[in-house]
Structure 1
Amino acid sequence: MVRFSVIRANVGTRPDDRTLPIETFSSETGEWRELLLTSPSTFNLVPFSICNVIDGIIYWQALGGLVAAYDPSMKEDRLWLIELPQAQIGAMGQSSDGLLQCAIDHAVAFVVWVLRKKLSWFFRDYTRQ
C-alpha cells in the first residue's frame, strides 16, 4: 500500500508574522489535521512561490533572503528560518552528500551556496525572541 501526506500552507490566514497555519492530510488516517507552525522571528513568504520538498523537509522561499523550513518528522510545530547569503534564490536542491544547495543565476555568473545539513545548525534559533 502506498502511503503519502499532503501539506497545505494557509498563507492568507496567518494570525501574526511569526506563524504559518498549515493543514496536513495522512493517507493512513484519511483525515486532515491543522497545525500552527511558529518561527523564531517574523517572516513573509514570497507570494505564489512553489515550495520544495527535499529529504522530507519542506522549504518555502521567504522575503528578505530567508527560507522557511518545516520538518514533519521532528514532531514539533516549529518553522525554521534559514538566512541565505543573498536575497533571492533561483533553485534549491540536495547534493549527493545530503547537503542543501541554493543556486542564484546572476547576469555574469551562476552561484551555488551549500548550506549545513541539519536544521538545528542554522543561525536563527528560538533563544532570541
Structure 2
Amino acid sequence: MHWKHALIEAWDVVRHWVEPFVPGALGAAIGQMWEKGLGWRDRIAQWAAALIFAAYLVPAFGHVFGWGIHLMNAAGLVVGTLVLKAYVPIRDAAISGAALGVKEGLSNLGSWFPRRGAAPVPPNTEGEG
C-alpha cells in the first residue's frame, strides 16, 4: 500500500509543475482555431510563445498588482490567445534587430583597425593643439 502514497505524491508534483502552463495552452489552442493555413513550425513556435508569456509574464504582473490566482489564470488564457497575433511582429523585430546588431558590430570592429594605405594618426601630446 506504500506505492499509492508515492503515486499520489508524484501526481501532485507533476500537477504543480504543469499547472501554470494550462491557461496559456488553452489560450493558444483557442487562438490557433482562428488561424488557418499555419505550418507546424509556426504552430509550435506560437504555442511556445503563448506558454512562456502565460506562465512567466502573467504571474509576474499578477504578483506586482496583487491579483488572485483565478484572475491570473484568466489573464493567462487571454494572453495565450493574443500572443499568437503578436508572434509574427515580435519575430520580425527580433530578426531585424539581430541583423542590425551584427552589421553595427562588424562596422565598429572595423574601426578599431587601420585601413590599408591610410596615414597613421600621430598621437596628441599634452600641451599641443
Say yes or no: TM over 0.5.
no
- The structure whose residues are more often strand, as a share, is 1
Q: TM-score, normalised by structure 1?
A: 0.25
Looking at both structures, which has the greater relative contact order when contacts are Cα pairs under 8 Å and sequence separation is at least 6?
2
Q: TM-score, normalised by structure 2?
A: 0.25
- The structure whose residues are more often helix, as a share, is 2
- The structure number with the bigger radius of gyration is 2
